[in-house]
Structure 1
Amino acid sequence: MQTENKDEMREKILEAALKRFTHYGAAKTTMNEIADDLHCSKASLYYYFPDKNAMHLAALEKIGEAYFQEMEKESRHVKSASKALQRIIEIREVFVKKFCRLEIFKLMRNGSDLLQEEMIKAKKREVALHAAIIKAGVAAGEFKVKHIDQTAELLVQCMMGLRFSVPDHVRQDMELDDELFAKVIEKQKQLLEIFIKGIKA
């Protein structure tokens, strides 16, 4: 029972942190503000998270899990592989717009080894779900692909590459504003259209 209460309190803290992070940005949010929102002491927060960076990382993990679950739903119920791949971009667009103030690149600059490990896992997971969609497309006769895993990895790498190559110059903070993000999404959609034509059966 006590474990459940601890888990519940941790979730409440993360929910409160996410509200603040998504509205004001993680950098402008203080532990005092989160504690005030929850009507608890700052010490209570430190019982669950050693510092704000750890809370920030946990918030990113929570959002990341929801993001992947949404995408994996698409990879499990494929009627049209082409449409499923397009839907992945739409899911990405919704999540990034909603959680763009989470400042993931700020954490990356801070040199968190744990975050780097999580990023590697996330990339592998994204490649796997793209591979599942492409495999379903091959099985349905929609796609003609010999090396499914390599093709999925190439697609994910190209999509990620646009994130860094679309801006005219690489800014130090690496966070995208709405206008740049819209350009990246548009380029991703164009790339996917070309990619799908290339693997159509």
Structure 2
Amino acid sequence: MLAENKDEMREKILEAALKRFMHYGAGKTTMNEIADDLRCSKASLYYYFSDKKALHNAVLMKIGETFFQELEVEADRTDITSEEIFFNLIAIKIQFVERFSRLELFKILNDKSEEIQQIVRSVEEREYVMLTKVVKKGVDTGEFDVANPEEIGILYKDAMEGLRFAGMSCMPESIIDLDKEGFEKIVAQQKLLTEIFVRGIKKQ
């Protein structure tokens, strides 16, 4: 099988899995059902993915990359203020979670395997670079008054992440996705934190 055909088949599997996960939920979807959708054997799926967990993680990585690209495009905007960008980033995250809520987005955060933890660390570094860029833009345009954009970027990232994990810590260990009320509470807290944070670094 040619490499390009392998890549094409892998993408078809990911698309079929994503479609079924979003409609029925990841937990209620079987490899047999995905194979039936593709009109191929289950063995064909296992050629590309060792099990449903590996397929689920691959789907999350695929949509996660698209999500991060959207965030980075927003962070690079020059037609609006850095304050507006911070709030727009929150809005993009809200839309992402609401759209893909049936994919068990938070399940991956409970995965302590080295492979997943390495991905998590990579994502955290990528987010830090993105947020620091937004702070630096604010400094360059005279919107923010800070001498250390790198420290401010990591402080904001850690504070936002802290609110997210504080909210999740109130949930049972078996939680897969936050309930609507819990999610809305975290979003409200993150918006308030952002408002206070931006006010503190704005040039007077």
TM-score (normalizing by structure 1) = 0.93
CA displacement, residues 6-51 of structure 1 (integer Å, 9 cap, x when unaligned): 1111111101111222232222111001111111111111111111
Aligned residues: CA RMSD = 1.7
Contact 1:162-1:188 at 8 Å conserved across structures: yes
Determine if contact 2:81/2:138 at 8 Å carries over to the other structure.
yes
- Mapped to 2, the partners of 1:124 and 1:170 lie a distance apart of 26
Note the C-alpha offset of 1:107: 3.7
Match of 2:201 in 1: 199
Distance (Å, rounded) in 1 between the aligned partners of 2:70 and 2:137: 18
Aligned partner of residue 94 in structure 1, secondary structure: helix
- Secondary structure of residue in 2 paired with 1:111: coil
Deviations 1:125-169 (Å, cap 9, x if unpaired)? 111101111111100000111111111111111111111223682
**1:4 and 2:36 correspond:** no
- Structure 1 residue runs of 5 or longer lacking an equivalent are none
Helix, strand or coil for the counterpart of 1:28? coil
Contact in 2 for aligned 1:81/1:137 (Cα 8 Å): yes
Indicate conservation of the 8 Å contact 2:106/2:178, yes or no: no
- Residue number in structure 2 paired with 1:159: 160
How far is 1:94 from its partner?
A: 0.6
Aligned ranges 1:122-201 → 2 under 5 Å: 122-166=123-167, 169-174=170-175, 175-201=177-203
Cα separation, 2, equivalents of 1:157 and 1:171: 23
| 1:178 Cα offset (Å) | 1.5
8 A Cα contact 2:67 2:96, kept in partner? yes
Structure 2: how far apart are the matches of 1:108 and 1:166?
A: 13
